[in-house]
A and B are shown apart, each in its own frame.
Chain A
Amino acid sequence: MNAIPISQRRIVGLALLAAALAAWYFSGYAGQDRLGEIAIAAIFAMSLDLMVGYGGMVSLGHALFFGLGAYALAGLTLFLKWPAAAALPAAVLLTGIVALVIGRLIVHLGGVFFIMVTLAFGQMGWAWFARDRIFGGIGGLSGVPQLDLAAFGADLANPGDFALLAVAVATVVYLLLARLIDSPFGAVVSALHRNANRARALGCPVQRYKLAVFTVAAMLAALAGTLQTQRTGFVSPDLLVWTSSGEVLIMVIIGGLGSLLGPIAGAALWTLLHHYLSAVTPYWMAIMGSFFVAIVLFAGEGLYGALARLTRRLRHV
């Protein structure tokens, strides 16, 4: 169930897509590379919004699944010599299985407990890949092969082509998630987010639904992770580190928790801000943290909430 009316969603969604395509058209290589990065972050952020904004499960370890998707693709292509086109969906599925196992253990945990445990699992993933020798340890691995899109006249080594692919995937992910949320499944998830106790008393197997949301969110994060390998050709434990989990949560909250479109804008804003800040100061984390604290304290509804308030005010003019 989506609290935002369809007409408003269509306008905002189309505006975002138009902005992305305009950015693609008018940018040089650097800008297009940045666009590709933003599109990946948008997918990552939307997946977390599904878990947090709709499922009500706040995770500080979502980067675990992002990283698993990336490492799975790297492993399948570099060691098992799979073609990237087969490895990509397989990586997403493998991550889904891991998510099912972990989720089964933890989705029934209450909010604060859950957040602690996800932080722990996230760091566990980081520690694993930082120590392991097969995947290059802390230095990571490079040389992950790209999808062969020559048949479509595209070369992913070209940032422009990659950006277009990433934006296309992000658009499809958005449409799928929007439909999921509008579906009966989404309505039940919305209900159990608002009052799990009552949903249970009415016959809803609450934990099963939460597990489903957890797993879908994890698989979409993995999808974003696989795209990351396609963009950089590189995997490293940095993909799973706790700051990554923190940054994607910040993107969702800045964008507007539960709005699905907001996190896309949040991803764009945050990626650009991060690049700008880390270029001008070594203390970007302090600024990021302060920004985050301020948003949580004063603007809990994020960009989308501000937009909604603005349109409500304009409507009354």
Chain B
Amino acid sequence: MFRAEGLCKSFGALEVARGISLHLPRGARHAIVGPNGSGKTTLFNLLSGELSPDAGRVFIDGRDVTDLPPDARARAGLTRSFQKNNLFPGLTVRESLAVAMAIGVGLGTVFWRRFARAGDTYRGAAAIAERIRLTPYLETIVDTLPYGTQRQLEIGLALAIEPKILLLDEPTAGMSAEETAEMAKLIADLPDELALLVIEHDMEIVFDFAQRITVLDYGRVLAEGTPAEIRASPEVRRRYLGEAAR
């Protein structure tokens, strides 16, 4: 349902993506791992449309979306969260989720009714907040939230548009052990039909949720397979896994 073929991208002499291919079926639980600088976030930017590939194509449900900008891809069912919190400053949690929902259902064309009463967005926002365990913070302005909570909202915004494909960029970045555990539970609770692609450094989380893992190294795919296959791969062990695999 989601496919990337032979994605290549260079910035001048620097090749950041060298023929990366990827396939996500419905309900996929797929992780992208690799050392810093291996091109993980660049890959996400190519998949979500923030970057245009020099070569290669991206398909959503068989439809070629390579030339579509990020908002068109989001409307086609693909969205992402970001490595650095990318929230709406000055809005409350409820307002943020509500406006994300509104964008998702195309409510923005309504200009004559009050937002609070139009559609179910304000109530729907509360529902999503519950799923991402942010109910106590509904009326809090996002700027004042603790970092880990902001991270949860970061994912909540993406969930609000009910995507078919979700890309999570290092969801546990900068989190404490408890916050990480919370995030792991959140990820485990995500809808079954959702195709999930996660960039992660925390190998415990990866081996916990992932059914397939892609290891990137200097912009190309070093290995791809089930967690067991990856653990067993001598190349991967040598270059990347270290302690966490044993």
Contact = CB atoms under 8 A, between A and B. Distances in A.
Contact of A179 (B48, B75, B82, B112): B112
A117 interface: no
B217 interface: no
A205 B103 CA distance: 9
B80 to A, nearest CB: 6
Given A183-B115, A186-B115, A201 B74 contact: yes
Contacts of A121: none
A195 interface: yes
A183 to B, nearest CB: 5
A184 B107 contact: yes
A199 B74 CA distance: 10
Interface in A184-225: 184-188, 190-191, 194-195, 197-206, 209
A182 interface: yes
A200 B158 CA distance: 11
A200 B69 contact: yes
| Main secondary structure on B side of the interface with A | helix
B103 A191 contact: yes
B111 A1 contact: no
B87 interface: yes
A194 B89 contact: yes
Contacts of B115: 1, 182-184, 186-187
A237 B74 CA distance: 46
Interface stretch (B11-19, B30-38, B57-65, B91-99): B91-99
B91 A185 contact: no
Given A179-B112, A186-B111, A203 B161 contact: yes
Interface in A160-194: 179-180, 182-188, 190-191, 194
A56 B46 CA distance: 28
A3 interface: yes
Nearest to B121: A184
A184 B86 contact: no
Given A1-B115, A184-B113, A195 B86 contact: yes
Interface residues on A, range: 20 to 34
Given A188-B108, A195-B88, A202 B114 contact: no
Contact of A201 (B48, B113, B114, B118): B48
Given A1-B91, A179-B112, A202 B69 contact: no
A1 B88 CA distance: 12
Nearest to A185: B111
A202 B74 contact: yes
A249 B104 CA distance: 34
Contacts of A204: 71, 74, 103, 108
Contact of B88 (A179, A180, A182, A194): A194
A200 B116 CA distance: 22
Contacts of A184: 102, 107-111, 113, 115, 118-119, 121
A67 B217 CA distance: 60
A184 B50 CA distance: 26
B79 interface: yes
A1 B121 CA distance: 13
B157 interface: yes
Contacts of B88: 191, 194-195, 198
11 contacts: A182-B116, A183-B115, A186-B115, A197-B86, A198-B87, A198-B157, A200-B71, A202-B74, A202-B161, A203-B104, A203-B161
Interface of B: 48, 50, 69-72, 74-75, 79-80, 82, 86-91, 95-96, 98-100, 102-104, 107-116, 118-119, 121, 157-158, 160-161
